């Protein structure tokens, strides 16, 4: 296991626009293109990029894409939902199970299979994620919320079962006993970084309880705050997993 004070620094100069969050104009533009674009091939491309975005906010426009007049676009939206890997997409995919277009129907069924498999996975750990606090006073609320959503997504991808807020200690212990899991509480802060950059600091504690396990920080500079946080959010969870012993 790495030292609790393990610090990882990364320097970001350019980030792909395809991974910017919904708070960014580029992603918002892709969502508008998918829903309102005049040409089907433009809508298809927008769906594919959103599917690759790893952005939880891509879920809503992709679900809207399942209602597109073009079967090609509906197929692309369904495939993109499977790629995105948000189990929240199950509801809108189930609603389209009677899809008439053969290609769109096949894509819908394939995406349903992927998301149902994700939902059925046995959890690996139990996490109370308390959200993200901006200590800099400079990050917009939209980007704070986006950072939190991306961290939650990464936790889910790693097999974490997320605890509800204000859960009673008895209930938490019951979940841990039933699933034979370790429980963790994560406290996350956005802090100033060097040279105008940003840091994401994650403190890990036992859950339930407040025994300190350790802390990790990841930092980046050389780009806009939203771009930095887009990259740092999943990296912070990766570092926490490594330092706190989640990876086997």
Give 104-160 pLDDT, tens digit per residue. Answer: 999 999 999 999 999 999 999 999 999 999 999 999 999 999 999 999 999 998 999
- As a whole number of angstroms, the distance between CA 210 and CA 95 comes to 43
Give the pLDDT mean for 181-193: 96
pLDDT for 205: 96
pLDDT classification of 246: cutoffs 50, 70, 90: confident
pLDDT for 27: 72
Q: Which of 93, 101, 112 is nearest to 73 (CA)?
A: 101
pLDDT for 218: 96
Give the pLDDT mean for 234-238: 95
Q: List C-alpha distances in Å: 10 to 13, 35, 183, 222.
A: 10, 36, 29, 10
pLDDT in tens, 159-172: 999 999 999 999 99
Q: Is the dihedral of CA 152, 48, 231, 227 positive or negative?
A: negative
* Domains of the chain, CATH where assigned: 7-16+122-243 (3.40.50.10070), 37-120 (1.25.10.10)
> Global pTM?
0.82
Counting runs of H as helices and runs of E as strands, what totals does the chain give? Answer: 9, 6
- 18 pLDDT exceeds 60? no
pLDDT for 181: 95
Which helix (H) or strand (E) element contains residue 208? none
pLDDT for 196: 84
């Amino acid at each position: 296991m790495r030292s609790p004070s393990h610090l990882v620094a990364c320097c970001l100069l350019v980030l792909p626009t395809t991974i910017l969050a919904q708070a960014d104009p580029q992603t918002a533009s892709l969502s508008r293109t998918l829903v309102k674009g005049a040409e089907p091939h433009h809508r298809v491309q927008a769906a594919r990029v959103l599917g690759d975005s790893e952005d939880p906010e891509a879920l809503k426009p992709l679900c809207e894409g399942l209602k597109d007049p073009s079967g090609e676009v509906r197929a692309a939206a369904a495939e993109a939902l499977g790629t995105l890997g948000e189990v929240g997409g199950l509801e809108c995919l189930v609603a389209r199970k009677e899809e008439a277009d053969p290609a769109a129907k096949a894509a819908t069924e394939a995406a349903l299979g992927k998301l149902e498999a994700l939902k059925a996975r046995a959890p690996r750990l139990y996490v109370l994620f308390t959200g993200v606090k901006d200590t800099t006073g400079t990050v917009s609320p939209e980007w704070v919320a986006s950072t939190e959503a991306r961290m939650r997504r990464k936790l889910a991808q790693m097999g974490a079962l997320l605890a509800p807020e204000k859960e009673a200690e008895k209930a938490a212990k019951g979940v841990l006993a039933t699933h034979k899991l370790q429980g963790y509480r994560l406290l996350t802060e956005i802090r100033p970084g060097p040279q105008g950059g940003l840091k994401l600091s994650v403190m890990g504690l036992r859950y339930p309880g407040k025994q300190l396990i350790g802390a990790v920080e990841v930092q980046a500079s050389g780009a806009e705050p939203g771009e930095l946080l887009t990259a740092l959010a999943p990296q912070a969870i990766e570092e926490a997993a490594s330092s706190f012993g989640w990876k086997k």
